[in-house]
């Protein structure tokens, strides 16, 4: 076969269907938006229940994490995510799903190196780079005397 | 003893026969168009086991057991088993057959394993001094997902080019000389091909060049043409890989389209079952061959069959390190009638 | 109308941030894990630049629920801790601010793993 790698890549692109972005993006928008609207409802609920205004968003996030974990355990979250894509990935629920699903999956490898370690296999980098970026911000802030 | 023909093809002296074969699948396979042809469909994909790996081993074990039984043999009659699968260190196969007491030779060819096993079995039966040899392989959707991709409950989106790993297994008993068929007449050992595809969710595109190279080599070695065969059956190229295979071969003036189908397109219904570009996995072509295809050869509806199983030789490590996906394809020529040559 | 408006803005802004994520999935080779990391780091940056807080004030959960909000929370935590405790806050602020969410995710993951089993997708 005389085809170069470059020629083959172009050929394979011609036969490989692209993701249906025109369907995926609206679906991600709607489902992601609904999760955030649900969050807004939770904030309103907690505020009405007397939770201080600055703590209500945190309580809302924790509730969404709990809900996502439950749906993941029941085997439902991935069925929604199949349609929602980034709509269920980007909200805090996606972070929770990324923690819960490997913990559940690798239970068969034991509680320590299975559940305990694999829990961070997908979501760990979010914590690592999020915290590191915040430390970097702190350093810059202090060094520049802001 | 098989004789070399051309560059990579070996023609059997006394074509060995496939004396018994069996295929087992699970729910999704049972709901597919070929469900009725499987020997057993177990709707419980855990196969009553505690882990998915144990389930795959049980699947492999039960299929071997059934194939030996259907061949009218017992384990003492088996000289050797060639088996392999997709799991790290091939534990699906080794753990599956560890209690059978059959001399074991492990092989790894990813999804090309069934053709690799069949050809090695045929070579050893035709002049290697062995009488009965098993070729077997299995795959399980859940073990493949957790090893190669994401946890089952992870909320990811599959791309349109991705393929669905078959939860299924096929096993065949190859017997030296004589018998009623189907007969293994020749085999072409494939070379590793790599055209630089890096997307692990587009296996069809990665494997098509290997299939094209082996098919083209077989026709060159034997001086035959696609029209000389009833069916050219590839392993698990899926829709993308099949289209690319036609294109690649057409550029070499070989037109297989009218004779070709792909196991990855047969086993599921792409309209009703959510499988994107088709099926994949060691168990895909093994179970299709041992459920739907070989009975047609036995009945004489298919007289001349080219079975080409393709394997993507990647690992999670190579993918993370950004390597491209090398692939291999092995060809086995199977006929309903005895005879010599090609 | 005043009752409904916060929900509309949460829906629109949250949906838009998710739509950006989907564009990255469909049109780039970025894996989901890389997209999550990018969103968090972007959130830290926007939070540090003081751009994200106005968005939270405006869209509420629409800005705080997506992972960019998590990033902005980390930045805010560091800023508050440094103001309150001095330089040690550079190291303590991020985790203190995100302690609830991270701990909830860890405990939920453990609990769910103990109770449930993963299911086949066939």
Question: What residues of B are in contact with residue A72 (Cβ under 8 Å)?
Answer: 153, 155
The answer to whether residue A15 is domain-embedded is no
| Interface contact B141, partner A, CB < 8 A | no
Whether the per-residue pLDDT at C1 is higher than 70: the answer is no
C122 located within any domain: no
Are C100 and A58 in contact, with CB atoms under 8 Å apart?
yes
Is pLDDT of A1 > 70?
no
B145: closest chain A residue by CA: A105
B190-193, long-range: CB < 8 A, 24+ apart? B190/B8, B190/B112, B190/B214, B190/B217, B190/B328, B190/B329, B190/B330, B190/B331, B191/B8, B191/B217, B191/B328, B192/B313, B192/B326, B192/B327, B192/B328, B193/A1, B193/B326, B193/B327, B193/B328, B193/B329
B160 touches chain A (CB under 8 A): yes
pLDDT at B342: 80
What's the whole-model pTM score? 0.95
Question: Does C120 reside within a domain?
Answer: no
Judge contact between B265 and B8, C-beta under 8 A. Answer: no
Identify whether A11 is part of a domain. Answer: no
Strands B183-188, B327-335: pairing kind: antiparallel
A1, part of any domain = no
Residue of B nearest to C113 (CA): B153
Please list the residues that pair with B261 across neighbouring strands: B233
Domain contains C121: no
In the 8-state DSSP scheme, what is residue A146? -
Please state the rounded mean pLDDT for residues C7-11. Answer: 97
Determine the structural domain holding residue C53 and report its residue range: 5-115
Q: In a 3-state reduction of DSSP, which class is residue A85?
A: coil
* Cα–Cα distance measured from residue B114 to residue B83, given in angstroms and rounded to the nearest whole number: 8
Residues from chain C contacting residue A61 (CB–CB below 8 Å): 64-65, 70, 100-101, 104
* C54 occurs within a structural domain: yes
Which chains reach chain A with 3 or more Cβ–Cβ distances below 8 angstroms?
Answer: B, C
Quickly state the pLDDT bin for A125 (edges 50, 70, 90): very high
Confirm if C61 and C73 have CB atoms less than 8 A apart. Answer: no
Å between A11 CA and nearest CA of chain B: 8
The DSSP symbol for A90 reads S
Percentage above 70 pLDDT, chain C: 99
pLDDT band, residue C78 (cuts 50/70/90): very high
CB contact under 8 A, A80 and B248: no
Distance CA B308, CA B217 (A): 12
Number of domains into which chain C is organized: 1
What is d(CA C108, CA A62) in angstroms, rounded to the nearest whole number?
Answer: 10
Answer positive or negative: Cα dihedral of B115, B116, B121, B124: positive
pLDDT, tens digit, 9 for 90 and up, residues A12-50: 999 998 888 999 999 999 999 999 999 999 999 999 999
Contact C39 A69 (CB under 8 A): no
What does the alpha-carbon distance between residue B134 and residue B126 come to, in Å, rounded to a whole number? Answer: 14
Q: Let me know if residue C11 belongs to a domain.
A: yes
- The total of structural domains in chain A comes to 1
> Would you say C60 and C9 are in contact if contact means Cβ atoms under 8 Å apart?
yes
| C26/A85 Cα distance (integer angstroms) | 10
Per the structure block, which two tokens stand in for B185? Answer: 């007449």
Q: Is B252 exposed, middle or buried (0-12, 13-18, 19+ CB in 10 A)?
A: middle
Instruction: Specify if A14 maps to a domain.
Output: no
- Taking 50 as the pLDDT cut, the residues of chain B under it are none
B320 interface with A at CB cutoff 8 Å: no
Determine whether the interchain pair A97/B155 forms a contact, defined as Cβ–Cβ distance below 8 Å.
yes
Instruction: Count CB atoms within 10 A of the CB of residue C98.
Output: 23
Mutate to test the interface with C, among A138, A141, A143, A145 (most CBs of C within 10 A): A138
Domains, in order of start, for chain B: 3-175 (3.40.47.40), 183-335 (3.40.47.40)
Interstrand relation of B168-175 and B132-139 (parallel, antiparallel or unpaired) = antiparallel
Q: How far apart are the first and last CA of chain A?
A: 63
Any domain includes C72: yes
Q: What is the DSSP string of C32-69?
A: HHHHHHHHHHHHHHHHHTT-HHHHHHHHTHHHHSBHHH
* Full domain range(s) for residue A52: 20-143
Inter-residue contact B35 to B273 (CB < 8 Å): no
- The pairing of strands B168-175 and B17-25 is antiparallel
């Amino acid at each position: 076969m005389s085809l170069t790698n470059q020629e083959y890549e172009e050929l394979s692109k011609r036969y490989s269907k692209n993701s249906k972005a025109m369907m995926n993006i609206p679906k991600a928008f709607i489902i992601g938006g609904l999760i955030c609207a649900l969050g807004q409802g939770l904030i309103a609920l907690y505020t009405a229940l007397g939770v201080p205004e600055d703590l209500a968003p945190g309580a809302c996030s924790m509730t969404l994490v709990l809900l996502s974990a439950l749906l993941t355990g029941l085997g439902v979250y991935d069925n929604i995510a199949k349609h929602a894509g980034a709509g269920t990935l980007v909200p805090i629920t996606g972070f929770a799903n990324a923690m819960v699903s490997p913990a559940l999956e690798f239970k068969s490898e034991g509680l320590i190196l299975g559940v305990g370690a694999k829990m961070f296999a997908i979501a760990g980098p979010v914590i690592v780079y999020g915290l590191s970026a915040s430390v970097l911000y702190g350093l810059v802030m202090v060094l520049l005397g802001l | 003893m098989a004789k070399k023909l051309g560059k990579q093809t070996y023609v059997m002296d006394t074509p060995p026969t496939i004396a018994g074969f069996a295929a087992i699948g699970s729910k999704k396979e049972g709901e597919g168009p070929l469900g009725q042809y499987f020997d057993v469909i177990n709707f419980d994909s855990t196969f009553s086991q505690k882990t998915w790996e144990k389930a795959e081993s049980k699947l492999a074990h039960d299929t071997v057991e059934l194939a030996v039984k259907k061949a009218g043999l017992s384990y003492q009659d088996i000289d050797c088993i060639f088996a392999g699968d997709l799991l790290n260190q091939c534990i699906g196969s080794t753990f599956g057959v560890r209690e059978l007491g059959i001399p074991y030779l492990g092989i790894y060819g990813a999804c090309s394993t069934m053709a690799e096993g069949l050809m090695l079995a045929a070579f050893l039966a035709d002049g290697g001094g062995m009488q009965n040899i098993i070729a077997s392989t299995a795959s399980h959707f859940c073990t493949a997902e957790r090893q190669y991709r994401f946890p089952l409950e992870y909320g990811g989106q599959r791309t349109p080019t991705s393929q669905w790993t078959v939860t299924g297994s096929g096993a065949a008993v190859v017997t030296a000389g004589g018998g009623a068929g189907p007969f293994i007449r020749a085999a072409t050992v494939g070379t590793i091909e790599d055209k630089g595809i890096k997307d692990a969710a587009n296996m069809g595109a990665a494997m098509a060049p290997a299939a094209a190279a082996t098919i083209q080599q077989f026709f060159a070695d034997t001086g035959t043409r696609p029209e000389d065969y009833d069916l050219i059956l590839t392993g698990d190229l899926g829709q993308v890989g099949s289209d690319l295979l036609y294109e690649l071969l057409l550029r070499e003036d070989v037109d297989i389209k009218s004779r070709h189908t792909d196991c990855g397109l047969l086993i599921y219904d792409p309209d009703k079952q959510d499988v994107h570009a088709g099926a994949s996995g060691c168990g895909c072509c093994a179970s299709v061959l041992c459920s739907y295809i070989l009975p047609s050869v036995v009945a004489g509806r298919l007289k001349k069959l080219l079975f080409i199983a393709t394997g993507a030789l990647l690992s999670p490590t190579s993918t993370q390190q950004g390597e491209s996906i090398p692939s291999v394809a092995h060809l086995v020529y199977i006929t309903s009638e005895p005879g010599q040559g090609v | 109308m005043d009752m409904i408006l916060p929900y509309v803005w949460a829906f629109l802004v949250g949906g838009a941030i998710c739509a950006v994520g989907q564009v990255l999935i469909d049109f780039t080779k970025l894996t989901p894990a890389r997209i999550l990391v990018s969103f968090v780091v972007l959130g830290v940056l926007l939070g540090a630049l003081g751009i994200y807080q106005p968005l939270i004030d405006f869209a509420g959960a629409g800005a705080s629920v997506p992972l960019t909000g998590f990033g902005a929370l980390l930045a805010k935590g560091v800023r508050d801790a440094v103001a309150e405790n001095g330089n040690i806050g550079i190291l303590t602020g991020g985790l203190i601010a995100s302690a609830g969410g991270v701990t909830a995710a860890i405990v939920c993951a453990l609990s769910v793993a103990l109770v449930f089993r993963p299911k086949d997708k066939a």
